[in-house]
Each structure stands twice: as structure tokens, then as C-alpha cells.
Amino acid sequence: MEENKFPLYYKFYQLIKVLYVAVKNFPREYKYTLGREILKKSWQCLDMILEVNILSKPQKKFLLQKLSLSFDQLKIRLRMSQEVGAVSTRQFTHLHVNYLKEIGDMLGGFMKWSQRF
């Protein structure tokens, strides 16, 4: 896959790489619960992105809604990780500014586009 053809996929892929490093450094009490859930939810989102790319235009709308919900769930888990101290405020801000906001904007654009069908 070329990066310019699938920017949402590549941005999410980059996010997952960053999340693996972050979760590796979680305190033990959160690494195997909250950390595992964050990684699982991230992979679910990436898998849905791949699926959306192969569906016909009318079929994309439903899956994009599911993807949006999963992405919101991921963001909630990431916020919780910051609130319980598993990631620092600085790390969370980095995730938000460099990944979550841009992914959310791309996803919102795709959802708006899918409303036409």
C-alpha cells in the first residue's frame, strides 16, 4: 500500500507503533489490563480501516460508523491511561496532537463523504 493512497491507514499504523512503546513502559498494574486493551482496540480500528478500503461505497457507511465508535473507545482508554498515570501528560499531549486529532479529522471527512450514499 502506498502512503499517499491510504493516509488514514498509515497514520493509524504509526500510532500503533508509538502505542507499543508507550504500553511497554506502563506500570505493571496497567500494562496487562489497560495497556492490552489499548493495543487490542488499536488493532481493531486498523483492521476496520483495511476492510473499509475494500468495500463498495454504499457498504462503507456502516463500517465507518463502527470504526468511529471504536476510535472513540480507544481515545477514552488513552485518556484513562493519562489520568491514572500510566502515561504522562506530555506523552498524552503528543499522542493527541500528532495522531488522535489528525486521525479523527480524516475519519470525520470519510464519514461526511459516506453520507452521500
- Examine the pLDDT at 99 and tell me if it is beyond 90: yes
Give domain status of residue 51, yes or no: yes
Q: How many domains does the chain have?
A: 1
Q: Which domain holds residue 13?
A: 7-114
83 within some domain: yes
Say if pTM beats, i.e. exceeds, 0.85.
yes
Q: How far apart (Å, rounded) are the C-alpha atoms in residues 66 and 72? A: 10
The mean pLDDT value for 24-31 works out to: 97
Report phi then psi at 105, rounded to 5. Answer: -65, -45
CATH number of the domain within which 74 lies: 1.20.1440.60
Which is more confident, 113 or 21?
Answer: 21
